[in-house]
């Protein structure tokens, strides 16, 4: 079975539950606060692993106490952390998350996530990766390091997945190295300059991205479901309509579960349905990694919904 290499961020999340967002100059009391491991890279690695896929986490943490908690969470889920870098020069990346009703707003500070070593990533991939393995990154680590790693991943015939979050304009040299671009509504708008208000706008935006060299696009639209587009397919899957407690890491859960399902030889449609079920379970619980379901939980949820996958 193929492996997944996740090159990305590892954070500690500081989560504040609020009735509403503060106004300018206002100090507000939160209804609830908790600190919990997160980071898009680490969340996606855990999502893959909890679906039973051998997953290696590549990234950087500090030597501070919070870094240790963040790494412990990865190890607890059996993510392979042998190649994690540890630096004394930075502390762990952090995210401040404001939860209001069912929505969230996130501010991050890179910390050790800014201290990647692209030459080492190349050495690790050359040693450990095999053609057909997946290579997954996000943009909470420096863009030049992502580009360098994607060049190496493509040379080794890995399947590359970029979750372009947080969204920035992507350089041409990266675009043709991306097999699957995963974006939400905001990121799609930044990259394609098209809105997601209708299928025809989405098709036009996706066409623009495909022409730039990206092989396929997976658009995640929260309660409006998800859409996969390449030159031959336009596949749309609705979201499950369950109670939303916290959407943090729902996208990360979707991505990790989607890749896991592809590795289990399921097709695009089946994998999107599986990923939607996993994401739906994730939003029923508060927190990032703590909310990511196991393979058995996703299977049971799908069965309970009366579906066969
Ligand atoms: O995608 C959710 C994640 O974004 C959080 O865990 C936070 O760390 C930020 O990176």
Residue having the nearest C-alpha atom to atom 2 of ligand 1: 249
User: For the ranges 21-25, 55-59, 135-139, 239-243, which has the lowest average pLDDT?
Assistant: 239-243
What is the average per-residue pLDDT within 40-60? 98
DSSP sequence for 2-17: --EEEE---EEEEEEE
Return mean pLDDT, the chain.
96
Residue 213: predicted pLDDT: 97
Q: For residue 243, name the pLDDT band (cuts at 50, 70, 90).
A: confident
Residue 248: predicted pLDDT: 93
What is the average per-residue pLDDT within 132-152? 98
CA of 92 to the centre of ligand 1 (A): 13
State which of 14, 43, 252 you would mutate to test the pocket of ligand 1, scoring each by most atoms of that ligand within 8 A of its C-beta. Answer: 43
Query: Per-domain residue ranges for the chain?
Result: 4-18+33-303
CA of 81 to the centre of ligand 1 (A): 19
| Cα 93–Cα 154–Cα 288 angle in degrees, nearest 5 | 30
**Plot region of 51 (φ>0 → left; ψ -120 to 50 → alpha; else → beta):** alpha
Residue having the nearest C-alpha atom to atom 8 of ligand 1: 39
CA of 251 to the centre of ligand 1 (A): 10
Q: Which atom of ligand 1 is nearest to the CA of 38?
A: 6
What is the average per-residue pLDDT within 256-277? 98
Tell me the CATH number of domain 4-18+33-303, given options 3.40.1190.20, 2.40.50.140, 3.40.50.720, 1.10.3720.10: 3.40.1190.20
Question: Is 252 designated active site?
Answer: yes
Residue 104: predicted pLDDT: 87
**Largest Cα–Cα separation, the chain:** 54
Instruction: Please write the tens of the pLDDT for every residue from 84-124.
Output: 999 999 999 999 999 997 688 999 999 999 999 999 999 99
From 51, 99, 102, 119, select the one nearest 79 (Cα to Cα): 51
Q: How many whole angstroms separate alpha carbon 15 and alpha carbon 82?
A: 29
Residue 242: predicted pLDDT: 84
Q: List ligand 1's pocket residues with C-beta within 6 A.
A: 9, 11, 13, 38-40, 43, 95, 106, 108, 140, 248-249, 251-252, 288
Q: In sequence order, what E strands does 101-200 have?
A: 103-109, 134-138, 159-163, 180-184
More confident residue, 104 or 189: 189
Q: Which atom of ligand 1 is nearest to the CA of 140?
A: 10
Confidence check: pLDDT of 191 > 80: yes
Q: Which of 13, 145, 246, 252 is catalytic?
A: 252
Confidence check: pLDDT of 309 > 80: no
Q: For residue 129, name the pLDDT band (cuts at 50, 70, 90).
A: very high
């Amino acid at each position: 079975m193929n492996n997944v290499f996740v090159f990305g961020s590892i954070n500690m999340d500081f989560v504040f539950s609020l009735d509403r967002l503060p106004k300018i100059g206002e100090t507000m009391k939160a209804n609830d606060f908790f600190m919990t491991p997160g980071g898009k890279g680490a969340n996606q690695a855990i999502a893959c692993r909890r679906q039973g896929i051998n997953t290696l986490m590549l990234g950087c943490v500090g030597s501070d106490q919070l870094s240790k908690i963040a790494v412990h969470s990865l190890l607890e889920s059996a993510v392979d952390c042998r190649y994690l870098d540890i630096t004394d020069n930075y502390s762990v990346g952090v995210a401040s998350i404001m939860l209001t009703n069912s929505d969230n707003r996130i501010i991050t500070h890179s910390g050790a996530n800014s201290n990647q070593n692209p030459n080492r990533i190349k050495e690790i991939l050359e040693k450990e990766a095999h053609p057909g393995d997946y290579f997954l990154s996000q943009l909470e680590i420096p863009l030049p390091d992502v580009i360098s790693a994607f060049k190496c991943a493509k040379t080794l015939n890995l399947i590359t997945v970029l979750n372009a979050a947080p969204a920035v304009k992507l350089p041409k040299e990266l675009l043709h190295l991306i097999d699957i671009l995963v974006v939400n509504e905001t990121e799609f708008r930044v990259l394609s300059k098209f809105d997601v208000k209708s299928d025809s706008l989405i098709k036009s935006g996706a066409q623009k991205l495909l022409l730039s060299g990206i092989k396929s696009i997976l658009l995640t639209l929260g309660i409006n479901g998800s859409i996969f587009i390449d030159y031959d397919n336009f596949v749309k899957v609705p979201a499950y309509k369950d109670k939303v407690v916290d959407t943090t890491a729902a996208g990360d859960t979707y991505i990790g579960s989607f890749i896991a399902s592809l590795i289990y030889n399921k097709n695009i449609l089946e994998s999107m349905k599986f990923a939607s079920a996993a994401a739906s379970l994730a939003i029923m619980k508060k927190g990032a990694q703590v909310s990511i379901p196991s393979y058995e939980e996703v299977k049971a949820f799908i069965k309970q919904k009366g579906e066969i996958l």
